[in-house]
Amino acid sequence: MLLKRFYDTKLAQASYLVGCSATGEALVVDANRDIEQYLTAAAAEGLRVTHVTETHIHADYVSGSRELAQRTGARLFLSGEGGPEWQYAYAGEAGATLVHDGDSFRVGNIRIDVMHTPGHTPEHLSFLVTDTPATDRPMGVLTGDFVFVGDVGRPDLLERAAGHGGTVEAAARSLFRSLQQFKRLPDYVQIWPGHGAGSACGKSLGAVPSSTVGYERIANWGLRAEGDDEFVAMVLAGQPEPPKYFAEMKRINRDGPPVLGHFERPARQPGDKLAAVLERGALVVDTRRAADFAAAHVPGTINIPLNKSFNTWAGWLVPSDRDVYLIVNDDCPHCVDEAVRDLAMIGIDRVAGYFGDEAVRAWAAAGREVATVPQTTAKQLAADLASGDVAVLDVRGHAEWAAGHVPGVRNVPVGYLTDHLSELERDKPLILHCQSGSRSAIAASVLLARGFTNVVNLTGGFAEWEGLGYAVERGAGDAAGRAAGRPALAM
């Protein structure tokens, strides 16, 4: 048996190829849209992709299962669990086989046993993998978003991201029951999860790629909880805000992801055409470093640096139903292709063109005003707060805000800023801060693009404020959040 893990660091997402070297057959589990990686890896091992499946209807990326099965002629296996609301709408058209708890299928000499593990989502499956020539006992289990290293899947996404009200507690109790079943697996069974550290599908995922049932039983807080009431309280506390694009991903992956074919590089646009693009109302995303954007940028553009968080913030801030243009560094020849791939991974396929960073210089050369983002420090902020000359906005997540914040400061997470523009200060400087200065830089660009002229970024963020010993206020729960003016986060 061969097992290969594929890991997309920006999505913090893992997919797997399970191959039988004796027969040359292979299974891909939880494929993302970059299907060439699986085809290349299978060919390198002398395998062909004959089976494709996934653990559940994903919320954080566009599934590549449908396209991979179509491309290879592989059998597609999809969950038939979860009730009528959580069926794959395209299963019949794609010729998929629906599988249920207790079912099994073979990939050459490898047996795949299906476990229904609801809680994260109603239809969620896990797959036990047994190398039958060696033993009749399972080697490992592909757990998707059910059990992670050090964490368990969050049960609140159906309500907070997909809009299914009143489902959180029932989902949490369902997840607890699934975990009790899971804990009965032998200690030696390996755990191969669908996400790692940094994913919004949990709150404390470990960075180690795999574990065992035995180790997680003693180290994973979710498997240590004794009763369902205790577990429900623990699993719902401190979950991060789910990106807005999650709801769209659920719909796409349920109804049928479009077949992409390949990642198409858009045409480069002349720098002097940027003005016309902005005048048409197009969205322009400047992917340069935050410091470069702050020093000089074209008014009306927003800054989402092309780093490991690019997918996340693009998902929050870039709609999938309109054209988008990019500005990229000319000294980074691969950046255009990287950005296009990253956007396609989360269903943003309408990249209509891109500009080099010379477009910013062309803008200035034409006599147009180049915008900047003023910066400040924690020491200066303390003085400004004492004089009452500024307003301050914390753009971190609510769990971060509750753990500690600048006294009296309102909290509106970055992704919700555009929902609260009318409530924000315009008559005096509005200082934005996050933990270290990166998210607040993005937030500043969003507000500037929306016509704010008074935005300032706190470069060192809350970490610098706290590190210098300034006063910190702590509070938890919705009541504390509302007292500080935090917007409701339910979606």
Q: What are phi and psi of 309, to 5 degrees?
A: -100, 10
Among left, alpha and beta (phi > 0; psi -120 to 50; other), residue 347 is: left
Helix, strand or coil, per DSSP, at residue 390? coil
Interatomic CA distance for residues 491 and 476, integer angstroms: 19
Query: Is 122 inside any structural domain?
Result: yes
Number of domains in the chain: 3
Mean pLDDT calculated for residue range 259-280: 94
Same structural domain for residues 222 and 351? Answer: no
Same structural domain for residues 390 and 466? Answer: yes
CATH number for the domain spanning 215: value is 3.60.15.10
pLDDT band at 282; cut points 50, 70, 90: very high
User: For position 199, what pLDDT does the model report?
Assistant: 80
Query: Is 358 inside any structural domain?
Result: yes
Q: In sequence order, which residues have a C-beta less than 8 Å from that of residue 143 and are 6 or more positions away?
A: 55, 117, 126, 191, 192, 193, 194
Residue 474: is it exposed, middle or buried by C-beta count within 10 angstroms (0-12/13-18/19+)? exposed
Residue 344: is it exposed, middle or buried by C-beta count within 10 angstroms (0-12/13-18/19+)? buried
Q: What is the CA radius of gyration of the chain?
A: 24
User: For position 479, what pLDDT does the model report?
Assistant: 32
Helix, strand or coil, per DSSP, at residue 2? strand
Q: What share of the chain in percent tops pLDDT 70?
A: 96
Q: What are phi and psi of 161, to 5 degrees?
A: -110, -35
Of 33-47, 97-111, 155-169, 472-486, least confident by mean pLDDT is 472-486
CATH number for the domain spanning 278: value is 3.40.250.10
Mean pLDDT calculated for residue range 399-414: 95
User: Which parts of 287-367 are beta strand (E)?
Assistant: 302-303, 324-328, 351-356
Query: Is 370 inside any structural domain?
Result: no
DSSP-based helix, strand, coil % in the chain, nearest 5: 35, 20, 45
Query: Is 133 inside any structural domain?
Result: yes
Mean pLDDT calculated for residue range 415-432: 95
Same structural domain for residues 182 and 281? Answer: no
Same structural domain for residues 281 and 424? Answer: no
Tens-place pLDDT, residues 339-397: 999 999 999 999 999 999 999 999 999 999 999 999 999 999 999 999 998 999 999 99
Residue 257: is it exposed, middle or buried by C-beta count within 10 angstroms (0-12/13-18/19+)? buried
Cα-Cα-Cα-Cα torsion 348, 246, 63, 201, nearest 10 degrees, comes to 130
Query: Is 147 inside any structural domain?
Result: yes
Mean pLDDT calculated for residue range 281-285: 96
DSSP per-residue letters across 18-44: EEETTTTEEEEES-BS-THHHHHHHHH
- Among 365, 389, 409, identify where a domain stops: 365
Tens-place pLDDT, residues 156-210: 887 776 666 668 999 999 999 999 999 999 999 999 999 998 787 777 788 899 9
Same structural domain for residues 420 and 341? Answer: no
- Among 221, 255, 289, identify where a domain stops: 255
User: Could you give the C-alpha distances from 154 to 39, 223, 364, in angstroms and in order?
Assistant: 31, 14, 48
Same structural domain for residues 148 and 211? Answer: yes
Who wins on pLDDT, 253 or 486?
253
Same structural domain for residues 356 and 389? Answer: no
* Mean pLDDT (the chain, rounded): 93
Written as one letter, the residue type at 218 is: I
User: Could you give the C-alpha distances from 177 to 171, 173, 182, 486, in angstroms and in order?
Assistant: 10, 6, 9, 34
- Is pLDDT of 7 > 70? yes
Axis-axis angle for helices 65-72, 36-44 (nearest 10): 50
User: For position 29, what pLDDT does the model report?
Assistant: 98
Interatomic CA distance for residues 328 and 357, integer angstroms: 6
Strands 140-144 and 125-131 come out as antiparallel
Same structural domain for residues 56 and 159? Answer: yes
pLDDT band at 213; cut points 50, 70, 90: very high
Residue 187: is it exposed, middle or buried by C-beta count within 10 angstroms (0-12/13-18/19+)? exposed
User: For position 158, what pLDDT does the model report?
Assistant: 73
Same structural domain for residues 64 and 24? Answer: yes
Domain carrying residue 127: 2-255
> Element (H or E) spanning 365, and its range?
helix 358-365
Same structural domain for residues 321 and 212? Answer: no
Same structural domain for residues 388 and 326? Answer: no
pLDDT band at 34; cut points 50, 70, 90: very high
Same structural domain for residues 77 and 193? Answer: yes
- Among 312, 345, 365, identify where a domain stops: 365
